[in-house]
């Protein structure tokens, strides 16, 4: 099957408190986005990569990357808008499947991506990498003026953290995202749109160190882990 990857990289990363968007912060001599793209390039099944970048992006054109395989599209206001723009931009490539992976997850390992692709293609159903929740999970509630308190403990038996990549049949995801956005649904990942449309989504266990770089303390850990990976 023809598989095209989409990398949403049009966010501003407001939680990072950095003037450089997080995908362009350098770790181990390369930007976060370059590390991410290098991981995807290791996966032989992926035939092309479309990166959604902000219209104001000054950084992408300076990266040393393979422009034969990797091209860009202007992103949108929310992550889902960026992914929808990329889905439109790859239409001429007639993909059967699309693999969406956050720019801010450079620690993903190629083996997990290959496993996700293999399991979903075999089952002919979409799926996502996910990690079982390991902490006890509390729901909070506000008291009038005294901060937040525990309302209840959520049984964690069936709880997962949704990671990326997320891998879906191209037409099915495009239609689901369009419809879910038009209906005003809260779509924070591709699976949310597929769930909204009533399609089954497989949970494929992935490594828990495939976290999304979000806050300044994440950078130190990512830097350490990338140093182990880059040989
Ligand atoms: O903001 P958050 O960390 O959830 O973003 C996840 C990914 O989506 C990041 O790689 C970010 O660059 C991307 N994004 C995007 N377009 C937006 C917002 C976020 O491509 N409008």
Q: Edge-to-edge strands of the sheet including 97-100?
A: 70-74, 46-53, 3-9, 97-100, 160-169, 127-132, 202-205
Instruction: Give every residue of the chain whose pLDDT is below 70, as ranges.
Output: 230-231
CATH code for the domain in which residue 200 is found = 3.90.550.10
> Looking at residue 231, what is its pLDDT?
54
Two structure tokens written together for 135: 């902490």
* d(C-alpha 50, C-alpha 226), whole Å: 23
* d(C-alpha 15, C-alpha 219), whole Å: 12
> Looking at residue 208, what is its pLDDT?
95
Ligand 1 atom at minimal distance to the Cα of residue 103? 10
**What is the distance in A from the centroid of ligand 1 to the CA of 88?**
18
Ligand 1 atom at minimal distance to the Cα of residue 78? 21
Other CB atoms within 10 A of residue 172 CB: 17
* d(C-alpha 6, C-alpha 17), whole Å: 26
* d(C-alpha 142, C-alpha 227), whole Å: 42
Pocket of ligand 1 (CB under 6 A): 8-11, 23, 52, 75-79, 82, 102-104, 212, 214
**What is the distance in A from the centroid of ligand 1 to the CA of 83?**
9
- Give the count of domains, the chain: 1
* d(C-alpha 63, C-alpha 96), whole Å: 29
* d(C-alpha 157, C-alpha 164), whole Å: 21
> Looking at residue 143, what is its pLDDT?
81
* d(C-alpha 141, C-alpha 52), whole Å: 37
Q: The domain containing residue 148 runs over which residues?
A: 3-229
> Looking at residue 227, what is its pLDDT?
96
pTM to 2 decimals? Answer: 0.96
CA atoms within 13 A on the CB side of 43: 27
**What is the distance in A from the centroid of ligand 1 to the CA of 42?**
23
> Looking at residue 13, what is its pLDDT?
74
| Contact (Cβ atoms closer than 8 angstroms) between residue 5 and residue 72 | no
């Amino acid at each position: 099957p023809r598989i095209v990857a989409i990398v949403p990289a049009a966010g501003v990363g407001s939680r990072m408190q950095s003037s450089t968007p997080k995908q362009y912060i350098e770790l181990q001599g390369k930007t976060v986005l370059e590390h991410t793209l290098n991981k995807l390039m290791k996966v032989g099944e992926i035939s092309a990569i479309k990166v959604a970048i902000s219209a104001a992006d000054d950084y992408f054109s300076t990266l040393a990357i393979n422009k034969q395989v990797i091209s860009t599209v202007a992103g949108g206001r929310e992550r889902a808008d960026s992914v929808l723009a990329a889905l439109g931009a790859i239409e001429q490539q007639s993909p059967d499947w699309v693999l969406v992976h956050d720019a801010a997850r450079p620690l993903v390992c190629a083996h997990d991506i290959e496993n996700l692709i293999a399991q979903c293609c075999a089952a002919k159903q979409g799926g996502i990498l996910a990690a079982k929740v390991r902490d006890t999970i509390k729901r909070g509630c506000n008291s009038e003026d005294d901060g937040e308190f525990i309302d209840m403990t959520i049984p964690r038996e069936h709880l997962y953290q949704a990671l990326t990549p997320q891998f879906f049949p191209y037409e099915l995801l495009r239609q689901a995202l369009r419809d879910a956005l038009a209906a005003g649904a809260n779509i924070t990942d591709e699976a949310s749109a597929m769930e909204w449309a009533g399609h089954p989504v497989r949970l494929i266990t992935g490594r828990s160190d495939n976290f999304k770089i979000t806050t300044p303390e994440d950078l130190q850990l990512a830097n350490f882990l990338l140093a182990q990976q880059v040989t």
